[in-house]
Amino acid sequence: MPFCFVYQSGILYTPLDEKPKSTDPRSLKRVRNIRENPQVAVVVDRYSEEWSSLAHLMVRGAAHLLEPADHEHAGAVAALREKYPQYRAMRIHELPLIRITPETFTAWGDLSAGPRQDLDVMDLMRGRRSVRWYTPEPVAPEQTRAILEAGRWAPSPHGRQPWRFAVLTRPEPKEKLAAEMAATWQLQLALDGQPEEVVATRLRKAHDRLVDAPLVVVLCLYLDELDAYPDAERQESETTMAVQSLGAAAQNMLLTAYGLGLDGGWMCAPLFCPEVVVSALGLDARLIPHAMLTFGHAAKDPVRRPRRPLDELIILDA
């Protein structure tokens, strides 16, 4: 039978959906089966119209019922509700879950991560995470194109699109940029009063993060085509709007990369030395580099930063 599940810390959890009050979920056929023989098999199937990406994974393992009083229950319910919003309105927290400890995995087909095709916009926003370290696998040219295309569609003040993208994939320009920014990084870290060995480690990490990223997009502001005002105050607001829209372009790119099965990260370093970036990359002097986005295949899953509850963010709902 088809079912919903989450896979967390090596354990698979699947809920017992709400049934009419008269039915005790513990009397369900699958629960009785597990009681009789806890050995279960689960097949996770990835279907795609593109047959070269078809895959399935058979997991065999031992199942048992996890009661709401068990300490693992709340975490599993939270993960299920994160993955399936429908469960947020259902009382799965009051019902047992089926907990499966995998023992063997049998795979068929292409198990590489592939595009996250099934994700809707909300899933993409929730799933996107900042990745700082990548495998050496390159980003395909068509994926790079799709990421840049997504940036193009960001909202912008007066529709002026006040951003330009410098795309770095070859090692030499990335090395040159890292080398030239290193001087600024060193100066700033020293100004912060950091000990020498800390400065050295952070410099090395910043260098590697940039150079080892398969794709780097430097997002630059281009203010020349924005509205001109006689007063400095409105001009500054105009610039702020451009910066805001650069953030929107960045988010479009990050979400698109995530949807393509890639990951992205944000480095604000150019903000602190825009002229250095312009000179290192030989860019037009009217451009103001603001951020670097790195893209590639995540070397490992990063630890996610928790989000504030929505009620804390809504400060007025009048």
Ligand X SMILES: Cc1cc2nc3c(=O)[nH]c(=O)nc-3n(C[C@H](O)[C@H](O)[C@H](O)COP(=O)(O)O)c2cc1C
- Residues in the interface with ligand X (CB under 6 A) total 8
Six-digit token string for 52: 């070269």
Task: State which residue has the least CB distance to ligand X.
Answer: 130
Cα separation, 160 vs 192, whole angstroms: 38
Question: Contact with ligand X (CB under 6 A): which of 305, 308, 310, 312?
Answer: 305
Q: Collect all residues with Cβ–Cβ distance below 8 Å to 264 and sequence separation of at least 6.
A: 128, 130, 131, 253, 254, 257, 258, 293, 294, 295
Its sign, for the CA torsion 116, 13, 107, 137, is positive
Using the minimum distance from each CB to ligand X, give the nearer residue, 57 or 241. 241
For residue 237, the minimal CB distance to ligand X (Å) is: 19
For residue 189, the minimal CB distance to ligand X (Å) is: 13
Using the minimum distance from each CB to ligand X, give the nearer residue, 132 or 207. 132
Using the minimum distance from each CB to ligand X, give the nearer residue, 117 or 130. 130
Per-residue contact track with ligand X, 122 to 151, x per CB under 6 A?
-------xx-x-------------------
Chain centre to alpha carbon of residue 89: 26
Question: Contact with ligand X (CB under 6 A): which of 1, 122, 268, 310?
Answer: 268
Q: Which residue has the tokens 């008269």?
A: 22
Six-digit token string for 146: 């799709």
**Residue 267 in the binding site for ligand X (CB under 6 A):** yes
Q: Which of residues 20-39 bind ligand X (CB under 6 A)?
A: none
Beta strand segments in 67-159, E: 97-109
Using the minimum distance from each CB to ligand X, give the nearer residue, 66 or 293. 293
Quote the crossing angle between the two packed helices 274-281 and 171-191, to the nearest 10°: 160
User: Which residues lie near ligand X (CB under 6 A)?
Assistant: 129-130, 132, 266-268, 304-305
